[in-house]
């Protein structure tokens, strides 16, 4: 048997059980601007420990949704529940439980990173110096905390923005395009920060255009288009494909003929690179392997066929044409 045989998908980074507490829920959330319903009866659910990627083409309604979640604009219809309570009636109590970074943070450029945190801490009240140390550590800015923000890279400013959002140790962190405009090194640093947040058990909603980032960071994705929820599922389930397997073996053509003759194998095919893509009997990789071996074909490798999140996204959003309609 092949030593590269692999039938299980690797587990997502954060495996928060779906039974975890719902920390944020929207009920038919809608926002109308003039004649346009830019957020259309959106029902979202975020559970504790989820790292939810909030995806959609330009103009899909992501920022508008986030502004409603933060109480910055009022929904036209529908409601928002945070930690089991209604945001509209419990605003003052709930908003401190939500930290946010919308696009670029508002920073005092002539002050140091630490002084920015101190200033915001003073405005918020009750933020101990120790918490400032903690968030500086978390966003990896301790070594630059005394330098003026003017001298920071864009990535460092974004991370300082995340640090500000974390000051009150919120239950939920909402980040609108945190990696927007960052260079590859900045993106890697932001990704590492997201991993640290995930490991610390934070619940995070991240809106992004960077699908490969979402695929690496998030446990779940919600995709919206034209204000409507297109899908809300785990990254693993979304990218798993249709229960198909990639099989590498020497006699791919012969194996294809045999598989095609099976009741479960009609859709099997061979890619231009020579990889056999096939469903499995009963949908199980080990049964496919057994079938192949019994038929005289020993696979070099057998892995679940995954779809790229980018392809799925374009399919689900009709080529990502949110703004053009
Ligand atoms: N204050 C406003 N008045 C009128 N229309 C608005 C207003 N704010 C947003 N819109 C419109 O609502 C739609 C959704 O905008 P929104 O900013 O929420 O999209 P988005 O998904 O965040 O897009 P992007 O990916 O470009 O950030 C867009 O068509 C936008 O032009
Ligand atoms: Mg936006």
Under CATH, what is the fold of the domain 22-239?
Rossmann fold (3.40.50)
**Predicted local distance difference test score (pLDDT) of residue 2:** 40
Ligand 1: does its nearest atom lie under 6 Å from the Cβ of 64? yes
Residue to probe by mutation, ligand 1, list 63, 73, 102, 317, most atoms within 8 Å of CB = 63
C-beta of residue 33 within 8 angstroms of C-beta of residue 61: no
C-beta of residue 90 within 8 angstroms of C-beta of residue 119: no
Angle, helices 184-199/129-138, rounded to nearest 10 degrees: 120
Ligand nearest to the CA of 102: 2
**For ligand 1, atom 31: residue with the closest CA:** 59
Nearest in space to 25 (alpha carbons), one of 9, 8, 46: 46
**Predicted local distance difference test score (pLDDT) of residue 6:** 39
Produce one character per residue of 69-99: b if its CB has 16 or more CB atoms within 10 Å, e if not.
Answer: bbbeeebeebebbbbeeebeeeeeebbebbb
Ligand nearest to the CA of 54: 1
Nearby residues of 323 by Cβ (< 8 Å), 6 or more positions away: 57, 58, 59
Domain boundaries, the chain: 22-239, 244-304
Q: Helical H runs in the chain?
A: 62-69, 87-94, 113-124, 129-138, 154-166, 184-199, 211-217, 235-239, 252-260, 285-294, 309-316
DSSP assignment letter at 4:
T
**Predicted local distance difference test score (pLDDT) of residue 222:** 94
Ligand 2 centroid, distance to 38 Cα (angstroms): 12
Ligand 1: does its nearest atom lie under 6 Å from the Cβ of 215? no
C-beta of residue 107 within 8 angstroms of C-beta of residue 157: yes
**Predicted local distance difference test score (pLDDT) of residue 17:** 52
Count the Cβ atoms, other than its own, within 10 Å of residue 315.
Answer: 12
Count Cα atoms within 13 angstroms, Cβ side, for 308: 7
Ligand 1: does its nearest atom lie under 6 Å from the Cβ of 56? yes
Under CATH, what is the fold of the domain 244-304?
Alpha-Beta Plaits (3.30.70)
Ligand 1: does its nearest atom lie under 6 Å from the Cβ of 72? no
Nearest in space to 276 (alpha carbons), one of 246, 298, 239, 299: 246
Q: Which atom of ligand 1 is nearest to the CA of 103?
A: 27
Q: Which atom of ligand 1 is nearest to the CA of 227?
A: 14
Distance CA 274, CA 6 (A): 19
Distance CA 323, CA 226 (A): 8
Q: How is residue 39 written in tokens?
A: 């957020």
Q: Which atom of ligand 1 is nearest to the CA of 73?
A: 1
Neighbours of ion ligand 2 (CB under 5 A): 62-63
Ligand 2 centroid, distance to 59 Cα (angstroms): 7
Q: How is residue 1 written in tokens?
A: 């048997």
Local confidence pLDDT in tens for the 325 residues of the chain: 343 343 333 334 444 456 789 999 999 999 999 999 999 999 999 999 999 999 988 899 999 999 999 999 999 999 999 999 999 999 999 999 999 998 778 899 999 999 999 999 999 888 999 999 999 999 999 999 999 999 999 999 999 999 999 999 999 999 999 888 888 888 888 888 988 888 888 899 999 877 777 888 898 999 999 999 998 988 877 777 667 899 999 999 999 999 999 999 998 999 888 899 999 998 889 999 999 999 999 999 999 887 777 777 777 877 655 554 4
């Amino acid at each position: 048997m092949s030593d590269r045989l692999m039938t299980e998908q690797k587990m997502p980074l954060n495996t928060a059980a779906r039974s975890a507490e719902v920390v944020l829920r929207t009920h038919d959330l809608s926002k109308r601007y003039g004649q346009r319903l830019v957020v259309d009866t959106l029902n979202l659910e975020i559970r504790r420990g989820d790292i939810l990627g909030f995806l959609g083409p330009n103009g899909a309604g992501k920022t508008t949704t986030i502004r409603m979640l933060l109480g910055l604009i009022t929904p036209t219809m529908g409601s928002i529940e945070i930690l089991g309570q209604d945001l509209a009636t419990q605003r003052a109590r709930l908003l401190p439980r939500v930290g946010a970074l919308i696009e670029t943070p508002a920073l005092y450029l002539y002050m140091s990173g630490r002084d920015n945190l101190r200033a915001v801490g003073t405005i918020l009240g009750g933020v101990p110096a120790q918490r400032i140390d903690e968030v500086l550590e978390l966003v990896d800015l301790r070594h630059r905390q005394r330098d003026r923000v003017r001298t920071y890279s864009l990535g460092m400013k974004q991370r300082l923005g995340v640090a500000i959002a974390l000051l009150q140790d919120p239950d939920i962190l909402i980040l609108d395009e945190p990696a927007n405009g960052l260079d590859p090194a900045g993106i890697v640093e932001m990704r590492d920060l997201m991993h640290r947040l995930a490991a610390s058990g934070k619940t995070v909603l991240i809106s992004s255009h960077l699908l490969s980032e979402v695929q690496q960071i998030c446990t779940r994705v919600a995709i919206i288009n034209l204000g409507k929820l297109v899908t809300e599922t785990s990254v693993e389930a979304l990218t798993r494909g249709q229960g198909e397997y990639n099989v590498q073996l020497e006699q791919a053509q012969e194996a294809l003929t045999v598989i095609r003759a099976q009741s479960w194998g009609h859709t099997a095919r061979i890619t231009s690179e020579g990889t056999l893509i096939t469903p499995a009997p009963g949908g199980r990789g080990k049964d496919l392997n057994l079938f192949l071996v019994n038929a005289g074909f020993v696979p070099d490798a057998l892995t679940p066929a995954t779809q790229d999140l980018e392809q799925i996204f374009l399919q689900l959003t009709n080529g990502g044409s949110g703004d053009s309609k």
